[in-house]
Structure 1
Amino acid sequence: MARNGKISSKGIGGWPESERPRERLLRQGAQSVTDAELVAILLRVGVQGMSAIELARHILEKFGSLRALGEAPLSALFAVKGLKGAKAAQLVAAMEVARRVSVPDGRKRITIKNTNQAEAYLRSRLQGLPEEHFRVLFLNRRGTLIEDALLAVGAVDQVRPPIRLLVARALQANASAVILGHNHPSGVADASESDRLFTEDLYAALKPIGIKLLDHLIFGERDTFSFADNGLMDEVALNVG
């Protein structure tokens, strides 16, 4: 209950209805509740000694913002006292729903014919992730996206799908061209020696079967590095011969 302007930590169920975040959201809309209250609604209940709203405030103080919370790895959530099992799953699910809502609607046919289009499509899928994700876009002869596949997730500079797997997926999709994309959690968009070697090896594997490797995009915090725009695809072609 409210006492001297402060909310008791005995549980949201004991608050006046006008002060309960869930009821206020339903009555006045989502814009009427604070970040902490949104998190509290997802948590549903608190833990011993803390109401859901107090736990939500503690979580946001620890991570700094909703965006930082959404970008945190699951292990960081588990490190917060009282945030285990169902509570952690509910938060992760909500953040993933928000991420997927920002992704272009999969029901629309997507055509990718240049670096800007590939960057715009992949950025919403790769920006701000705490781990390195490696995605591959499989395109037909007209540049229409056939499949967008997440083929590897893991630590920095260790995320490379097996060449054999990638070639098999390209053949299975009946793709005519491929675009690679991965993020650097460090925030720096630059091609490492490992990135260059992998790109060259894949180009060499795809060329004999008539599938073009059009580009390899690397996403940092704000910038994007394109092999094609920086002339590295031409170097790869020369090296492979």
Structure 2
Amino acid sequence: MPSKNKGSGISQWPESERPRERLIREGPAALSDAQLLAILLRVGRPDSSAVQVAMELLDCLEGVQGLANRGLEELCQVPGIGPAKAAQLKAAIDLGKRVLAAPLSTGTRVGSSLELFHHYYPRLRDLRHEVFKVVLLDAKHAIIRDATVSEGSLTLSIVHPREVFNLAVRESAAAVIFLHNHPSGDPQPSPEDRTLTARLVAAGEVLGIRVLDHLIVGDGRYVSFADQGWLEGETGFAPAPAPAGPGGKCIERRAKAKVAKSTRPGPLEG
């Protein structure tokens, strides 16, 4: 932080101390989190520089990670952060997530649960509510598209097989993969997760659409029903290897156990 009054604008600082000029000269690694944020904010308040506002923002959010899981309204509660600046920050964060997400475009063949984890973890890791997604595949297990089936609360997402397979039938999918996040960070499946998965597998069998896997994404780790042997029949791709994924590693495989089939409705609990 420059030895200037905190209310002085960055434009009045010596050029060697201005965050943007330092980034150009030394690279982003040389800057603190507050200085990088100040470049996005551009200006502060009449009594505080953009760096000072950035420091206050980070203090309120308990670090830069808090930017990822706060909404626009929460960001705007910090003096000096209005809707426009909050939108700039959220846009930058989401662009970063998209850069981290490995490309899985239409026509890409899915080879493992770890590959899916690499792609979806940056998109799901910071969500504060459950999101249930389906990945639609053709007969060669190449991606047709993915879709969000349901968005729920902190611990609950309601999914009905009819909604899932209506989409699969419309897109002429031969197979599907399900995935959802647990905001708690613990990817271990609940009894409701297992029950719902069994119902989805059974519905897919009736329609001739194979369920290749169901991934539950937690904090830096995940559980794959296919890798654990919890799906009946062949999953369609080999179990994920052991190397760590972004921010964590695969959960150890446990003894094989079939999921019990049930006709009861199945909410997801995280």
The normalised TM-score by structure 1 is: 0.85
SS of alignment partner, residue 228 of structure 2: coil
Q: Once the two structures are superposed, what CA deviation does each residue of 1:9-51 show, in whole Å capped at 9, x if it has no partner? A: 1322222333221233234433332211110111112124222
Equivalent-residue separation in structure 2 for 1:132 and 1:232 (angstroms): 22
- Number of corresponding residues: 237
1:7 Cα deviation from its structure 2 partner: 4.3
Is the contact between residue 112 and residue 143 of structure 1 (CA under 8 Å) also seen in structure 2?
Answer: yes
Aligned residue in 2 for 1:12: 10
Matched, 1:94 2:92: yes
- RMSD of aligned Cα (Å): 2.5
Equivalent-residue separation in structure 2 for 1:116 and 1:24 (angstroms): 38
Equivalent-residue separation in structure 2 for 1:76 and 1:200 (angstroms): 39
Aligned residue in 2 for 1:119: 117
- Residue 204 to residue 137, structure 1, CA distance change in 2 (3 Å): same
Aligned residue in 1 for 2:79: 81
Aligned residue in 2 for 1:35: 33
Name structure 2 gaps, 5 residues minimum. 233-257, 264-270
- Residue 157 to residue 194, structure 1, CA distance change in 2 (3 Å): farther
Equivalent-residue separation in structure 1 for 2:103 and 2:34 (angstroms): 29
Equivalent-residue separation in structure 1 for 2:41 and 2:160 (angstroms): 39
Aligned residue in 2 for 1:220: 218
Equivalent-residue separation in structure 2 for 1:34 and 1:106 (angstroms): 33
- Residue 121 to residue 22, structure 1, CA distance change in 2 (3 Å): closer
Which structure's residues are more often helix, by fraction?
1
Q: Once the two structures are superposed, what CA deviation does each residue of 1:79-122 show, in whole Å capped at 9, x if it has no partner? A: 33332301111111000000000112345843224433333333
- Residue 82 to residue 151, structure 1, CA distance change in 2 (3 Å): farther
Greater Cα shift, 125-134 or 48-57: 125-134
Matched, 1:136 2:131: no
- Residue 128 to residue 43, structure 1, CA distance change in 2 (3 Å): same
Is the contact between residue 73 and residue 130 of structure 1 (CA under 8 Å) also seen in structure 2?
Answer: no
1:52 Cα deviation from its structure 2 partner: 0.9
Equivalent-residue separation in structure 1 for 2:166 and 2:7 (angstroms): 57
Aligned sequence identity (%) = 38
Q: Match for 1:211 among 200, 206, 209?
A: 209
Matched, 1:165 2:172: no
Q: Which amino acid aligns with 2:68?
A: G
Equivalent-residue separation in structure 2 for 1:210 and 1:140 (angstroms): 12
The normalised TM-score by structure 2 is: 0.77
Equivalent-residue separation in structure 2 for 1:101 and 1:162 (angstroms): 32
- Residue 227 to residue 75, structure 1, CA distance change in 2 (3 Å): farther
Equivalent-residue separation in structure 2 for 1:7 and 1:108 (angstroms): 54
SS of alignment partner, residue 148 of structure 1: strand
1:236 Cα deviation from its structure 2 partner: 4.3
1:226 Cα deviation from its structure 2 partner: 2.1
Q: Which amino acid aligns with 1:174?
A: S
Greater Cα shift, 50-59 or 27-36: 27-36
Is the contact between residue 199 and residue 262 of structure 2 (CA under 8 Å) also seen in structure 1?
Answer: no
Is the contact between residue 157 and residue 194 of structure 1 (CA under 8 Å) also seen in structure 2?
Answer: no
SS of alignment partner, residue 22 of structure 2: helix
Q: Match for 2:188 among 187, 190, 196?
A: 190
